Amino acid sequence: MTAPAKTSLNPVPIKDRMKLPRQHMPEQAPEVRATNYTEVNLGYSEELARREALRCIECAKPACTKDCPVGVKVHEFVQLIVAGDFLGAAAKIREDNVLPAVTGRVCPQEDHCEGGCLMGKKVKPLGIGYLERFVADYEQRMGVRTLPTVPPTGKKVAVVGSGPSGLTVAGDLVQRGHKVRVFEALHELGGVLVYGIPEFRLPKQIIREQLDYMRAMGVEFETDVVVGRTVAIDDLLQEEGYDAVFIGTGAGLPVFMNIPGEHLNGVYSANEFLTRINLMKAYKFPTYDEPMLDLHGKDVAVIGGGNTALDAIRSALRLGAHKAYVLYRRSETEMPARAEEVKHAREEGIEFHMLTSPVEFLQDGDGWLGAVRCERMELGEPDASGRRRPVPVAGSEFEIPLSVAVIAIGTSANPIVQSTTPGLDTNKRGYIQASPETQRTSRRGVFAGGDIVTGSATVILAMGAGRRAAKSIHDYLTTGEW
């Protein structure tokens, strides 16, 4: 935890700071952005950033850093913004976070830094995410890079998966002098940042820039390698001479609902729907070869209430959907999506049907989806997740005409690495067992983190696991102790 500065650079008296309004993030107008695929949020100007930074009350026990999974020194970087040293602020964030331009955009700040912000108890919390994004973008615009200066250790680490956890491990370890090579199954780097999160929320250019930064730091990348199939973990450790391996293979197989009609044409998993759009650029068919169903004038629904669900339905809207629905079996309070995404989606005209659960996909002749039959739910006692369990209301079934349905209710463990790595323990749901403190697995020299350990979570939680893993891998490589 960071102690507050004794001599603040902030000219505004502390008692007046709470009176300063939270600076609004400029964004594309809802009716405009609903028809394009470019980023919704436009970013702070230098002036807006400084104004927002002035709001920080520099509390004695800042919860923002404590509540950040990677421990970004929020108070320190915000003070650097106040001082006008934006590059210094970026370097400060980079001490703890190798992907600031990403987290500044996709983190659920309300659950972490901003959720902990003391100002939020009385007024609106400090716009920490917006400020992080601002300095990361500023650093990129200036073309400044802070490259590692430590001498090489001679140790080699293989990172499996180029998503948020893998990139964090790679960035942290290369800065400690280790040689790092990242293996990616797909043809493009970035994992869920590339195939999952759409352009309008996280432009692919941002990821490419972050990857270039990592290459400049010395990280090596190899695409088209499905570890477990193309090469085994044991091959990496033995034949290829890696001293340690980090497994960050991410969210696995999409979960389906096991209700009738799920095989009809027009029913997608969110992973497939988003992969076609984001990774394969199917929305640019026929310039790009990967096809997808034409959504113009069609009624589309997503089933689920997380960020993935909102990414899918907001994509559908942008691709010309006539009606775009979210069907969620609990109420808005239980929705796991980021608050800003829910707000944005609503502004764009997405219709939310809460306490609604599909029971059957109905056919419109010849194997195509025509409608979904749903039932109404009500909330009962809390379940294992602590959220109130949805219970069907008897006799409440109704139909919604639909051409495309996207199922976004979560994922289960991908078995490829586990089933090809002897001695790698998994839990009863098939996820890799790893220590929550050190991310060590049951195999010496093998570490794991992110969704392949926890099941579907968020970018920042995966990055948190990556940070812990990097520290623990470094300890292992320097001491040789397991």
Partner 1 sequence: MFKILHAEFLAPGIKRFLIEAPRIARKQKPGQFVIVRIYEEGERIPLTIENSDPEQGTISIVVQSLGKTTTLLNSLGTGDHILDVVGPLGKPSEIKQFGTVVVMGGGVGTAMAYPTAAALKRAGNRIISIVGARNQELVILETEMRAVSDVLMITTDDGSYADKGFVTDKLRQLIQNGVRIDLVLAVGPIPMMKAVADMTRAEHIRTLVSLNPIMIDGTGMCGGCRVLVDNKSQFACVDGPEFDAHEVNFEVLVQRNRAYRNQEQQSLAEYRRAHESHAESREAEANGVCAAQGVRQ
Query: Using CA of residue 80, residue 105, residue 63, residue 55, what is the dihedral sign?
Result: positive
Q: Is 280 in the site for partner 1 (CB under 8 A)?
A: yes
Output b/e per residue, 268-287; b: 16+ Cβ within 10 A: bbbbbbbbbbbbbbbbeeee
When asked if residue 158 is in the footprint of partner 1 (CB under 8 A), the reply is no
Distance from C-alpha of 391 to C-alpha of 460, rounded to nearest angstrom: 32
Q: Does the footprint of partner 1 cover residue 281 (CB under 8 A)?
A: yes
229 contacts partner 1 (rule: CB under 8 A): yes
- Interaction between residue 241 and partner 1 (CB under 8 A): no
Stretch in the footprint of partner 1 (CB under 8 A) among 139-147, 245-253, 305-313, 337-345: 245-253
Q: Does 276 bind partner 1 (CB under 8 A)?
A: yes
C-beta of 225 vs 354, nearer to partner 1 = 225
Q: Is 262 in the site for partner 1 (CB under 8 A)?
A: yes
| Of the residues 31, 46, 289, 475, which one makes contact with partner 1 according to CB under 8 A | 289
- Residue 21 CB, shortest distance to partner 1, in Å, is 43
**One symbol per residue from 159 to 198: x for binding partner 1 (CB under 8 A), - otherwise; what is it?**
--------------------------xxx-------x---
Nearer to partner 1, 242 or 268 (CB): 268
Q: Is 58 left (phi over 0), alpha (psi -120 to 50) or beta?
A: left
- Cβ–Cβ contacts within 10 Å for residue 383, how many? 11
Which of these ranges, 65-73, 344-352, 413-421, 447-455, lies near partner 1 under the rule CB under 8 A?
Answer: 413-421
Tell which positions 343-402 bind partner 1, by CB under 8 A.
366-367
**Region from 120-128, 222-230, 308-316, 421-429 binding partner 1, contact rule CB under 8 A:** 222-230
Q: Which of 115, 416, 433, 471 binds partner 1 (CB under 8 A)?
A: 416
Choice between 151 and 286, CB closer to partner 1 = 286
Q: Does residue 253 bind partner 1 (CB under 8 A)? A: yes
53: Cβ–Cβ under 8 A, 6 or more apart, which residues?
78, 79, 81, 82, 131
Choices 74-82, 171-179, 229-237, 391-399 (CB under 8 A): range interacting with partner 1? 229-237
Site membership for partner 1, residue 432 (CB under 8 A)? no
* Residues at the interface with partner 1 (CB under 8 A): 185-187, 195, 223-226, 229-232, 251-254, 256, 258, 262-266, 268-269, 271-272, 275-276, 279-281, 285-293, 366-367, 414-416
